[in-house]
Amino acid sequence: MGCMKPTKTLRGQLFRLTGPIFVETLLIMLLGAMDTFMLSHYSDDTVAAVGVVNQLLSLVFLVFGVSTVGTSVLCSQYLGASQQANVRQVIGVSLFFNTLIGVTTSAFLYFRAEALLKIMDLAPELINEGLAYMQIVGGFAFLQAIALTMSAVLRSHNKAYYPMRVTLLMNVLNIIGNYALIFGKFGLPQMGVVGAAISTSSCRAVALALLLYITFGKVVPRFSFSCLRPFPWDKLKNLLHIGLPAAGEQVSYSLSQVVITYFTVMLGTAALTARTYAMNIILFSYVFSVALGQGAAILIGHLVGGERTDAAFILQKYCLRLSIVVSLCVAVVTAVCSKFIFGMLTSNPEIVYMGVMILCIDILLEVGRAVNILSVNVLNAVGDVTYPFITGLIVMWGVATALSYVFGISFGWGLAGMWVAFTLDENIRAIIFVRRWNSRKWVGKSFTRVEKLLKQTSSHSA
């Protein structure tokens, strides 16, 4: 069965869903990369400071995934089972939860920004640069929280092209805003890192307004908050049951990356800058895997909601092969062009040397990462949410974090040693996740099936 292909209809649905998600994900990554690229023409030190801030913000933003991952999975399964009333309740609960979490998080990031940067042991000359960016972008984090919910709802309804179009507009506006505010064009003052932060936050506000209009004006027009009376605690419980382990896996990864960033600070500003540049370049090696994983998760969610587990099994195998091939090809091209790419970003030969070495090691890493991104998405989609979390927690910290210190600091291998540790981590987890999917232990864990069994049990008892 592993060599079988999904039907043409399923493949068509997959690519109609994955295509817009790919473009949207690419544009979101470009948004962060554009800040880094434009600031590289302003100051290498500013890039280093913003790199540390973005690592912290990425970790905090994953808290919003507690709700959005659950929203995507539950909406997909309920839509597959044609349960529209449950879909509207999930949307209401998710919107309420993420707005509350988003506002709380924004306040924390604004008022505790300096303390967070000091915990990272950032050089004193970099703290002022990082502080301004953290307070502005972090202070408006609630915009991202609500926008992520809206994107999850639209994708689960097979309307992924709407978030894609919004993100495209957001990128265009951000490029113009960055150019004007970082360098002081069109009669505006030269604001450097503050300008980049204002541009990014303003674009997120525009994007959120558009997503709210599209979701409630076109896709879910009959939505009303009356669906929350009485409050559907069972939906919140299910959202958290999916979301906490799913987001926990991502939080664990990002938290381990924050610790590794702290180790990188020990290697000096040049290493920190090289890592920031490399992380932005490497994003493009796995952007397809991210999009394919999200698209496959939604479609597999529909399939298991309709109790078509064999089709879900075959679709995952097909997606896995595709994900590995594309990621590997992009990683090889990136490594071949690495000296040219880094040469465009900086004139510091030490940064260029470290960057080229990292991108060469990264070729093998991307094979494992392609498997992991897809596997975690589809295991969450079928309701097998605890397994990826526990596996990630043990292997990420036991291999990636611990060995990055041993190889990078203790053995003196620097950034290259850290990347060897990351490569081991990704490939060990990949082997574990492939074995899990092939075992089919995830069959029967979907929420629609569990609810159906509970109803049958209660009716027999009555």
Please report, in angstroms and rounded to a whole number, the separation of the first and last CA atoms in the chain: 42
Name 207's Cβ contacts closer than 8 Å, sequence gap at least 6: 143, 147, 166, 167, 169, 170
Q: Is the pLDDT of residue 35 over 80?
A: no
Number of H helices, E strands in the chain: 18, 0
- The pTM score is 0.74
Structure tokens at 262: 């702290």
DSSP single-letter state for residue 5: P
pLDDT tens-digit profile of 400-428? 999 999 999 999 999 999 999 999 999 99
The predicted pLDDT at position 200 comes to 87
Mean pLDDT value across the chain:
86
Phi and psi (nearest 5°) for 78? -70, -35
Taking Cα atoms as reference points, which of 204, 203, 183, 208 lies closest to residue 194?
183
CA distances (Å), origin 105, targets 55, 65, 205, 252, 254: 15, 13, 16, 18, 16
Structure tokens at 140: 């408006």
255 membership: H or E segment, kind and range? helix 233-266
Tell me what the mean pLDDT of segment 130-143 comes to: 89
Measure the CA–CA gap between 264 and 246, rounded to whole angstroms. 27
In this prediction, residue 113 has a pLDDT band, given cuts at 50, 70 and 90, of confident
Measure the CA–CA gap between 277 and 37, rounded to whole angstroms. 9
Burial of residue 179, with CB atoms counted within 10 A of its CB: 0-12 exposed, 13-18 middle, 19 or more buried = middle
In this prediction, residue 262 has a pLDDT band, given cuts at 50, 70 and 90, of confident
Helices (H), 184-232: 193-214
pLDDT tens-digit profile of 43-74? 777 777 777 787 778 777 777 877 787 888 88
pLDDT tens-digit profile of 313-350? 999 999 999 999 999 999 999 999 999 999 988 889 99
The predicted pLDDT at position 400 comes to 94
- What beta strand segments (E) does 96-251 contain? none
Q: Higher-confidence residue: 130 or 173?
A: 173
The top-scoring range by mean pLDDT among 104-113, 377-386, 417-426 is 417-426
Q: Higher-confidence residue: 458 or 19?
A: 19
Q: Is the pLDDT of residue 2 over 50?
A: no
The predicted pLDDT at position 308 comes to 85
Taking Cα atoms as reference points, which of 152, 159, 166, 154 lies closest to residue 205?
166
Q: Is the pLDDT of residue 224 over 80?
A: yes
Q: Is the pLDDT of residue 1 over 50?
A: no
In this prediction, residue 116 has a pLDDT band, given cuts at 50, 70 and 90, of confident
Side chain identity at residue 275, one-letter code: R
Q: Is the pLDDT of residue 87 over 90?
A: no
The predicted pLDDT at position 420 comes to 96
The top-scoring range by mean pLDDT among 37-51, 60-74, 107-121, 244-258 is 107-121
